[in-house]
Chains A and B, each alone.
Chain A
Amino acid sequence: MRRMARSEAPIMVVLDRLVLLLMLAIVAAILTAAMILQYAFGEIPCPLCLLQRVALFGCCFGLIQQLRAEGSERGSGIGLVFALLLLVISVRQTLLDLFPRPDHAYIGSAVLGMHMEVWSVLVAVALLLGFAIRFALFGAPRAAPDADGSLVHRCARGLELYVVLICVLNFVSVVLQCGLGECHTFGYRLL
């Protein structure tokens, strides 16, 4: 049986960290794109769209925790839970808007022919696949924490700061759109 304290070969650990960093960068880019669509193209998000953003932030949180972890897979577990939540919410929203009828139709404009909730389904599946591939390829390697000055550590810290910044922007945006009540796509309640 493998001992818990043992560290894996350095190359496997570095590759594992790079996969986690790549996943975090992609999720952060998706959240940035959502903000750009909201403010540059005037697409106000619906309540389920905002809940999908929460799920994406949860995935970011899990990935950040995993990047700092030494021998625990808690971060991956958190990421998987939120990826599953993203899948459930986006599939339900896709099924809600699948057949246009009064008060129900796809919200916003299509990107490459697909609407945001359909993209969310793909993103959720890609995240689940990413975690699965990571486990399959690297078997969740146990490693000593990265040194403070290492490139991976600096990139992880920078991305973490960026995700916190997007979270602040999203919080302000949600307060402007919804106030303390229900969210609507008509406009910003506090503007």
Chain B
Amino acid sequence: MMAGIFAVLLIAFVLNFSGLRRLAVSCLLVSLALCVGLFLWEIYSPEYGFRMPWLQVDLERAFAPIGSS
């Protein structure tokens, strides 16, 4: 998949260099779509989904009533 993304990206650059700008932009958009797809696939966890449970905030202390400490 990663090799495919770089291949499409390279084709876009070569087409742009050759003066075929519209075709180059189309290839770049394909590369963007593949890149976003692979990014979502990479960060998805079967256990957590897209959440990041290791990032915790201490809500108890933040919402403690004034003068309770």
Interface residues of A (CB under 8 A from B): 47-48, 50-51, 54-55, 57-58, 61, 64-65, 68, 74, 78, 81-82, 85, 88-89, 92, 95-96, 98-99, 101, 160-161, 163-164, 167-168, 170-171, 174-175, 178-180, 182-183
> Roughly how many angstroms separate A81 CA and B3 CA in the complex, as a whole number?
22
Residues of B within 8 A of A92 (CB): 39, 43
Q: Say whether A171 contacts B14, CB under 8 Å.
A: no
Closest A residue by C-beta to B7: A171
Q: Say whether A65 contacts B43, CB under 8 Å.
A: no
Residues of A within 8 A of B24 (CB): 61
Question: Hey, what's the 0/1 contact readout for B23-42 against A, CB within 8 Å counting as 1?
Answer: 01100100110011011001
Q: List 12 A-B contacts (CB under 8 A).
A: A50-B2, A51-B5, A51-B35, A61-B13, A61-B24, A65-B16, A81-B32, A163-B13, A164-B10, A178-B2, A179-B3, A180-B3
Given A92-B43, A160-B17, A163-B13, residue A183 in contact with residue B25 (CB < 8 A): no
Which residues of chain B (35-69) have a CB below 8 Å from chain A?
35-36, 38-39, 42-43, 52, 54-55
Q: Say whether A54 contacts B6, CB under 8 Å.
A: yes
Q: Say whether B32 contacts A85, CB under 8 Å.
A: yes
Residues of A within 8 A of B55 (CB): 95, 98-99
Give B7 Cβ to nearest chain A Cβ, in Å. Answer: 6
Q: Say whether B6 contacts A171, CB under 8 Å.
A: yes
Closest A residue by C-beta to B4: A180
Instruction: List 8 additional contacts besides A47-B38, A54-B6; criterion CB under 8 Å.
Output: A51-B5, A55-B35, A57-B9, A65-B25, A89-B39, A160-B17, A178-B2, A178-B3
Instruction: Give the top 9 A-B pairs by smallest Cβ distance, nearest first.
Output: A171-B6, A164-B13, A174-B6, A178-B2, A171-B10, A54-B35, A175-B3, A99-B54, A167-B10
> Roughly how many angstroms separate A51 CA and B32 CA in the complex, as a whole number?
10
Residues of A within 8 A of B32 (CB): 58, 81-82, 85
